[in-house]
């Protein structure tokens, strides 16, 4: 069997491939150049920051491809028209980044209620100033839009701080650490109760631009928005206006519409906005979790068993 691996990780993962089956590895670089004949390759394990041009070159070179594993949780960048024309099983990295992203979300929240930006400023000015208004998380309400793998990890940590946790799901049901889980069309009704709103849902045609002017109008003036999903879910111009007019207390964005964010973007200048460079999922353990999931699925594939994390390409996740 032939397996296509990205050059970035091939040397690390090859020694751990199943020994029971003869596996021929074809390596592909970030531009889609392959170091061998992939016409009969069955499996493709892509890597982060996969370009559509690279993906399409691999598809053209591997007409016999049956299964593609992507390390990302979000696969909107993969589901191109050309990709959807192929009858491929697609699996993703849902759950791999849950722990580091959840920790980052709690960091954003604590930085806001404990006024860390203000204290960093006072520190830089050599000022000992008491009386900075602080708050606590106990009894605050958190709404997690997308109670999937990442959302569940966030809820675990929020509950430790005594927060009330709401969530939304395509198939709502009672979940551990959630006080209430509603359907995808019902979460807006909970916005007037939320102190913090976290976007943890995939980018799909249904979620694109859903944090718009009408949605932001439902936020409390003291609420705080956090986006660790995809930039396209938020209407950036409407968010900028809401922040400039102090219609919400602030926001933290780990992902934006255009990445890298251009230096001239007005987002940089908003004092009540924290921007991080789409790195909330970074951790030394992320790569190993990614490898473990792929290798488990590869064993399942070779044994003809159902794969984990199969993406519903119609739903987009």
- List, by residue number, the catalytic residues: 230, 259, 278
- Which letter does DSSP use for residue 147 in this model? -
- Asked if 60 and 41 touch (Cβ cutoff 8 Å), the reply is no
Burial 185-213 (b: 16+ CB within 10 A, else e): eebeebbeebbbbbbbbbbbeebeebbee
User: Strand, coil or helix: what is 93?
Assistant: coil
Q: Which tokens hold the place of 235?
A: 């209407």
Peptide bond into 147 cis (omega under 30): no
167: Cβ–Cβ under 8 A, 6 or more apart, which residues? Answer: 143, 144, 145, 146, 147, 151, 155, 175, 178, 180, 181, 182
Contacts (Cβ under 8 Å, ≥6 apart) of 16: 291, 295
Which residue's structure tokens are 């032939």? 2
């Amino acid at each position: 069997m032939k397996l296509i691996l990205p050059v970035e990780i091939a040397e690390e993962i090859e020694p751990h491939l199943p020994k029971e089956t003869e596996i021929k590895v074809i390596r592909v670089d970030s531009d889609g150049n392959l170091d061998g004949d992939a016409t009969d390759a069955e499996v493709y394990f892509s890597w982060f920051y996969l370009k559509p041009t690279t993906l399409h070159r691999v598809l053209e070179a591997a007409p016999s491809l049956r299964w593609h594993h992507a390390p990302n949780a979000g696969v909107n960048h993969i589901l191109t028209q050309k990709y959807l024309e192929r009858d491929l099983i697609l699996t993703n990295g849902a759950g791999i980044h849950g722990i580091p992203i959840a920790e980052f979300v709690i960091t954003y929240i604590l930085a806001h209620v404990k006024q860390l930006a203000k204290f960093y400023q006072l520190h830089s000015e050599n000022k000992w100033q008491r009386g900075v208004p602080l708050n606590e998380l106990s009894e605050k309400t958190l709404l997690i839009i997308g109670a999937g793998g990442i959302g569940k990890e966030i809820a675990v940590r929020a509950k430790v701080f005594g927060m009330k946790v709401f969530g939304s799901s395509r198939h709502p049901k009672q979940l551990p650490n959630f006080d209430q889980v509603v359907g995808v069309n019902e979460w807006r009704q909970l916005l007037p109760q939320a102190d913090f709103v976290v976007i943890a849902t995939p980018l799909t045609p249904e979620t694109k631009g859903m944090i718009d002017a009408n949605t932001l109008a439902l936020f409390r003036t003291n609420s705080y928005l956090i986006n660790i999903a995809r930039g396209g879910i938020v209407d950036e111009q409407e968010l900028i206006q809401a922040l400039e007019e102090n219609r919400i207390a602030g926001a933290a964005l780990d992902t934006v519409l255009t990445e890298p964010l251009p230096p001239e973007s007005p987002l940089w200048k908003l004092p009540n906005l924290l921007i991080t460079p789409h790195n909330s999922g970074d951790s030394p353990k992320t790569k190993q979790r990614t490898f473990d999931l792929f290798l488990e699925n590869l064993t399942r594939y070779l044994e003809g068993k159902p794969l984990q994390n199969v993406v519903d390409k119609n739903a987009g996740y």
